[in-house]
Structure 1
Amino acid sequence: MDAFRKIDIDQYEEDVLLEEELYDADPRDPATVLTDTKSKVGAVRGSLSKGDIAGALNLVLDSPPYGPNVEEAKNLNLQTLVSILNSTKSTEIPAIVRALSPDAQDTLMKYLYKGMALPGWGDVSGSILLTWHEKLTEVAGTGCIVRVMTDRRTV
């Protein structure tokens, strides 16, 4: 009786949009993406040891991994970003966010939402993510949220 609900009617439609067609895939192969992300982790640790939080954040947000088959690189980049967020004082956040380019601000918002989507919010406390979200929204405005919600490239 419920068998009709399991039929994928999109398979018969000629004009169906597939997820792969909604955005251009990352031109790098998954192994290269993972290698690039691992090299970023070392550079971020070096920047954090020097106290350059803005530089470390720019490294993580520059050309993030996206697309299919790069989940390990995506998770590693998220963990690296979380370590930056955890090591930042709340009084420094507005200045750091203002120093970011608009594209980097949008990418940071994507990572904040990804962190909030994790069950139990992963390795970061909710107050840190919400504080960053608040400061980022104050600087970038609500347009940043809209751009992140409508962008098909997920981090």
Structure 2
Amino acid sequence: MATLNYRTIDIDALDPDSPHNFPLPTLLPSSLPPPASSSTAAGTAAQVRQLLRSGDSEGALRHALDTAPLGGDERAKEVHLATVIEVLQGIRQGEMSRVLEGVCGGGVEGGAERGDCLMKYLYKGMATHSTSSSSSSGNGTLSPSKKSSLSPQSTGFTQVQARNFGEGGGGQQMSVLLSWHEKLVDITGIGSIVRVMTDRRTV
């Protein structure tokens, strides 16, 4: 009689709460916007830049958060992340609180949703920075071939990427994101952090 090797049993297949037996896409809300393409995100970026040039930083941030591609592909999300970071870096530190109150304040219609969306982008920007830093640092030395492979990729945001994701610009980006995070928590409270951690709609 053959003995059963219990280490080879797929426990997840027997667990009714396992993702194998529970379709995770059903957790997404039915109000999820239709998938956005990278060309749509690039068009949004052009509109946001136009608002920035006209001096309407509050309107630029509001438009960037309202058009976040929650249902978009990864390429569209990367392009939109660069757009949001460009907006955040284009706003002076003294104007952060005023802009956040106008975009994410409690008395503003849709302010709480925009605050949560901005929190998602802040965390994603921090994660992108830490990932690029860890891959570029390594053991502290890089071969010439590795250094050349770390140059920013062309995404339509050449100036932003060279400033943020290139060598020497990551510290500045992290400083900007942390400053916005501090101001945003002052306005929305820590509840926004909890909602972002549990929301399956990613940016």
What is the CA deviation profile of residues 16-47 of structure 1, one whole-angstrom value per residue up to 9, with x for unaligned ones? 33331221374524xx4433322211100100
SS of the residue corresponding to residue 100 of structure 2 reads helix
How many residue pairs get matched? 149
- 1:151 matched residue in structure 2: 199
- 1:78 matched residue in structure 2: 81
Distance 2:183 2:118 in 1: 12
- 1:47 matched residue in structure 2: 51
* The structure with more radius of gyration: 2
Residue identity (%): 39
Correspondence 1:131-142 to 2 at 5 A: 131-142=179-190
Q: Look up the equivalent residue of 2:181 and give its one-letter code.
A: H
Correspondence 1:5-154 to 2 at 5 A: 8-15=10-17, 16-24=21-29, 26-29=32-35, 32-67=36-71, 70-100=73-103, 101-118=111-128, 119-120=131-132, 123=165, 125-154=173-202
Q: Look up the equivalent residue of 1:106 and give its one-letter code.
A: D
- After TM superposition, the score normalised by the length of structure 1 is 0.84
Distance 2:70 2:195 in 1: 16
Distance 1:58 1:34 in 2: 20
Distance 1:9 1:108 in 2: 39
- 2:149 matched residue in structure 1: none
What is the CA deviation profile of residues 91-146 of structure 1, one whole-angstrom value per residue up to 9, with x for unaligned ones? 00001111111110110000000011112475352110000000000011111111
Q: Look up the equivalent residue of 1:80 and give its one-letter code.
A: T
List gaps (5 residues or longer) in structure 2: 1-5, 104-110, 134-163
Q: Look up the equivalent residue of 2:74 and give its one-letter code.
A: E
- CA spacing shift, 1:38–1:95, aligned 2, 3 Å: same
SS of the residue corresponding to residue 91 of structure 1 reads helix
Distance 1:44 1:89 in 2: 17
On the 8 A contact 2:65/2:117 being kept in 1, the answer is yes
Higher helix share: 1
List gaps (5 residues or longer) in structure 1: none
- CA spacing shift, 1:27–1:57, aligned 2, 3 Å: closer
Instruction: Report the RMSD for the aligned CA atoms in angstroms.
Output: 2.3
Q: Look up the equivalent residue of 2:197 and give its one-letter code.
A: M
